[in-house]
């Protein structure tokens, strides 16, 4: 017996699709067979399984477990919760791997699978090989067991086990995502005054979409912070592995700005340590890390790629513009927005007690949101190669870590191919609006030379 996945569902970092269309329960079963085979052939036996609050998650979880068991692998079902709780369970329970059923911040009709092998991410070539094995029916056969294990209380307790912060008045927006109950339990253990929005898990996301990188999704949190005069606010995505934040004035503290704040106490303890950020992060962040005595390292966008690079570099802290924050310092090296929130409270406490003051002290810069340009799967990487060739021929200052990041007297701009969608992604940053306009004009000019038109823009 073999299985064919929809060609769009096998992504670089995970497996994802539209439920009932490009992703089905048969796919979930085949993922279980394939991932279970990988575990069994590596000499492993147990896989932790968790799922988020989407309406489609329980049946997909059941099908996945069935597939794991039929590959001779035991499933430890940790149940409903945020993705980082699943990651934690792999470490805490000594499992050989983990699978999280989650659609993350995608629309309600999407779902997907994030996987890990012990302490390393399962992505890229791993996922491609999973698809090839399914097409060939190259699976182990056996009879594994299935048992439930409630890890929720241990996970929440571990979040605050070595908390070193102070008392603040904080707003929390869970967006009806999988982090809600864990956030409620967490704030009950923290000092200060806490106000929690939308903690009830609801896969229809009735209040707003759970993506804190979209400023429009922070409107309820901004209102809460303003009405109650809170110190700051924290928001989460649908599966709790990405964080968003606003200061006491309602200004967004973006992912790279959060990383700059979180890096300071880490570098006090570990002088000279490497701090990794993705290519979309501000030059101000890299400058700040260097100023603090750290070694800034620019790397490719993608949570799996960042985790793999952290392991290679023995890096204590990394982050992405998208709000994935990865602590190896006093934590496990995976992206956990709840733990990042705890560490943010600590950092603000240790750096003067005001997130608003920290935000105000940051360099004045202007930048674009992520700009997206539709471009086919077969064309998007070729366009980036064409742009790089032209830039090099012109003698431009270009970094090709992940696409083309070009530094000019005006600032910098980035063009890269998305690993998860049929789009090119661009971003630019400058000291003022006139300089920013020149940078975005340069992006448009390069795209036009490769036959790509600006059709849509924004997050």
Q: What is the pLDDT along the chain (459 residues), one digit of tens a residue?
A: 899 999 889 988 899 999 999 999 999 999 999 999 999 999 999 999 999 999 999 999 999 999 999 999 999 999 999 999 999 999 999 999 999 999 988 889 999 999 999 989 999 999 999 999 999 999 999 999 999 999 999 999 999 999 999 999 999 999 999 999 999 999 999 999 999 999 999 999 999 999 999 999 999 999 999 999 999 999 999 999 999 999 999 999 999 999 999 999 999 999 999 999 999 999 999 999 999 999 999 999 999 999 999 999 999 999 999 999 999 999 999 999 999 999 999 999 999 999 999 999 999 999 998 899 999 988 999 999 999 999 999 999 999 999 999 999 999 999 999 987 889 999 999 999 999 999 999 999 999 999 998 654 433
* Superfamily of domain covering 366-449: Alpha-D-phosphohexomutase, C-terminal domain (3.30.310.50)
Domain 15-150 has CATH 3.20.20.140: no
Which residues, 6+ apart, have CB-to-CB distance to 402 below 8 Å?
Answer: 278, 279, 299, 300, 301, 416
**CATH number of 155-360, picked from 3.40.50.2020, 1.10.3470.10, 3.30.365.10, 3.40.120.10:** 3.40.120.10
Residues in the chain: 459
Which residues, 6+ apart, have CB-to-CB distance to 188 below 8 Å?
Answer: none
User: Residues spanned by CATH 3.30.310.50 within the chain?
Assistant: 366-449
**Can you read off the two tokens belonging to residue 70?**
């039929």
User: Distance between CA 453 and CA 455 in Å, rounded?
Assistant: 6
Task: Tell me the β-bridge partners of 196.
Answer: 172
Q: Among 33, 179, 52, which Cα is nearest to 112's?
A: 52
**How much is the pLDDT for 455?**
55
Kind and range of the H or E run holding 46? strand 46-51
pTM of the model: 0.95
Helices (H), 94-195: 125-136, 152-159, 180-187
The catalytic residue among 57, 104, 304, 418 is 104
Q: Let me know if 104 is a catalytic residue.
A: yes
Q: Among 325, 332, 338, which Cα is nearest to 92's?
A: 332
Token look-up 């035991």 returns: 74
Q: Among 403, 398, 389, 363, which Cα is nearest to 449's?
A: 389
User: Distance between CA 307 and CA 443 in Å, rounded?
Assistant: 30
Which residues, 6+ apart, have CB-to-CB distance to 448 below 8 Å?
Answer: none
User: Residues spanned by CATH 3.40.120.10 within the chain?
Assistant: 15-150, 155-360
């Amino acid at each position: 017996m073999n299985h064919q996945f929809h060609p769009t569902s096998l992504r670089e970092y995970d497996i994802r699709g539209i439920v009932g269309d490009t992703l089905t329960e048969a796919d979930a079963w085949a993922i279980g067979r394939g991932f279970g085979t990988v575990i069994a052939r590596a000499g492993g036996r147990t896989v932790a399984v968790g799922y988020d609050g989407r309406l489609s998650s329980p049946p997909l979880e059941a099908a996945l477990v069935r597939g794991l068991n039929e590959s001779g692998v035991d499933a430890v079902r940790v149940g409903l919760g945020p993705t980082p709780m699943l990651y934690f369970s792999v470490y805490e329970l000594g499992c050989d791997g983990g699978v999280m059923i989650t659609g993350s911040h995608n629309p309600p009709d999407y779902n997907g699978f994030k996987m890990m092998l012990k302490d390393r991410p399962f992505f890229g070539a791993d996922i491609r090989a999973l698809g090839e094995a399914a097409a060939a029916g190259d699976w182990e056969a056996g009879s594994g067991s299935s048992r439930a294990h409630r890890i929720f209380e241990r996970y929440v307790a571990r979040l605050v086990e070595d908390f070193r912060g102070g008392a603040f008045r904080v707003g929390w927006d869970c967006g009806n995502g999988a982090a809600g109950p864990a956030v409620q339990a967490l704030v009950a253990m923290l000092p200060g005054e806490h106000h929690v929005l939308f903690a009830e898990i609801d896969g229809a996301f009735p209040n707003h979409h759970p993506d804190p990188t979209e400023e429009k999704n922070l409107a309820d949190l901004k209102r809460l912070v303003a009405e109650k005069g809170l110190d700051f606010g924290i928001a989460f995505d649908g599966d709790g592995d990405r964080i968003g934040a606003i200061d006491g004035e309602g200004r967004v503290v973006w992912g790279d700005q959060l990383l700059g704040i979180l890096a300071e106490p880490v570098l006090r303890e570990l002088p000279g340590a490497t701090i990794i950020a993705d290519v979309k992060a501000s030059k101000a962040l890299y400058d700040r890390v260097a100023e603090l005595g750290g070694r800034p390292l620019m790397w490719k966008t993608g949570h799996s790629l960042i985790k793999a690079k952290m392991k290679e570099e023995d890096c204590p802290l990394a982050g992405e513009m998208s709000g994935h924050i990865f602590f190896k310092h006093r934590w496990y090296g995976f992206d956990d927005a709840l733990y990042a929130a705890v560490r943010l409270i600590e950092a603000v406490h240790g750096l003067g007690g005001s997130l608003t003051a920290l935000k105000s002290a940051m360099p004045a810069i202007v930048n674009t949101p992520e700009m997206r340009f539709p471009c086919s799967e077969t064309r998007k990487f070729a366009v980036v190669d064409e742009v790089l060739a032209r830039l090099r021929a012109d003698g431009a200052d270009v970094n090709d870590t992940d696409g083309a990041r070009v530094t000019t007297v005006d600032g910098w701009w980035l063009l890269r191919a998305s690993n998860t969608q049929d789009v090119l992604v661009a971003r630019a940053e400058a000291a003022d609006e006139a300089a920013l306009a020149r940078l975005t004009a340069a992006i448009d000019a390069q795209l036009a030379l490769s036959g790509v038109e600006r059709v849509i823009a924004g997050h």
